[in-house]
């Protein structure tokens, strides 16, 4: 019975709450003018309809409002459930970012030089962790000295500066041989525990020389004293390279 009462109240509320019912009552208001003799009966039925329709409409509105509240509650619960899922996903993403960031730093550490920001070798090599490394490939070459420049001295540490033309590539690791081209600027460190133990004496133009070190191609070489932009061969000492000149090995 309750379901029927609620169904009837809702249907009546919906029926009264439309424009066709409004038009009907509007026309009903003209009936006393058209039929004056039936005015009493028309007023009676008008009052009767008001008496039973008012509580009926109130019940219907209450039921409809209750249904709207239920839908709103269901929508709220669904939204809160989705929000909880989003928060959970956000926490997982945040945790993932925390895990990825150290890995990203490791990758960047292995791929980019901390100061110059470039990568020249096609793989990570053990010497790349050394503070003097520019993360280039290691080449072993024979060449001919073209020009000997003045030494560069900084804070008691010396660098021999000279140009060579590479005659033969004996080996290369970390790049293909075609990256090694032509005239090369050599910077050989000496005078401290990070470079050669002694200065190479008697460097002369036209003399043959054999070297191993880290090779920086022309596109990545930075300008320095004595080098306007040629490829660079450096790190020609322990733990990467060495120099053989006039039968003596320096490393």
Cα atoms in the 13 Å half-sphere on the side-chain side of 201: 2
What integer pLDDT is reported at residue 239 of this predicted model? 87
Phi/psi of residue 24, each to 5°?
-65, -45
Domains and CATH numbers, the chain: 2-91 (no CATH), 131-250 (2.40.50)
Contact 125, 162 (CB under 8 A): no
Average pLDDT of span 181-205: 90
Q: At residue 119, does pLDDT exceed 80?
A: no
Q: Which of 16-25, 98-107, 235-244 has the highest mean pLDDT?
A: 235-244
Note the pLDDT tens digit of each residue in 132-147: 888 889 999 999 999 9
Distance between CA atoms of 213 and 100, rounded to whole angstroms? 34
pTM over cut 0.85: no
What integer pLDDT is reported at residue 203 of this predicted model? 95
Q: Which tokens hold the place of 163?
A: 């140009």
What integer pLDDT is reported at residue 211 of this predicted model? 96
Vertex 138, ends 235 and 190: CA angle to 5°? 15
Contact 216, 136 (CB under 8 A): yes
């Amino acid at each position: 019975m309750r379901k029927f009462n609620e169904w009837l109240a809702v249907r009546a509320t919906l029926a009264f709450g439309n424009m066709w019912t409004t038009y009907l009552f509007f026309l009903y208001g003209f009936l006393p003018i058209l039929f004056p003799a039936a005015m009493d009966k028309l007023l009676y039925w008008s009052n009767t309809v008001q008496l039973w329709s008012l509580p009926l409409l109130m019940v219907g509105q209450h039921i409809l409002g209750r249904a709207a509240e239920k839908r709103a509650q269901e929508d709220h619960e669904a939204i809160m459930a989705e929000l909880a899922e989003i928060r959970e996903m956000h926490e997982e993403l945040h945790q993932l970012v925390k895990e990825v960031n150290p890995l990203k730093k490791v990758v960047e550490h292995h791929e980019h030089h901390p100061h110059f920001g470039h990568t020249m070798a096609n793989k990570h090599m053990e010497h790349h962790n050394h503070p003097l490394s520019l993360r280039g490939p290691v080449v072993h070459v024979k060449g001919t000295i073209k020009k000997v420049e003045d030494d560069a001295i900084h804070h008691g540490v010396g660098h021999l500066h000279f140009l060579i033309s590479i005659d033969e590539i004996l080996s290369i690791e970390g790049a293909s041989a075609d990256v090694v081209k032509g005239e090369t600027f050599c910077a050989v460190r000496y005078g401290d525990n990070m470079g050669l133990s002694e200065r190479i004496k008697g460097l002369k133009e036209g003399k043959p020389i054999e070297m191993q070190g880290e090779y920086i191609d022309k596109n990545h070489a930075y300008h320095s004293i004595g080098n306007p932009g040629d490829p660079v061969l450096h790190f020609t000492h322990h733990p990467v390279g060495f120099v053989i000149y006039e039968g003596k090995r320096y490393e």
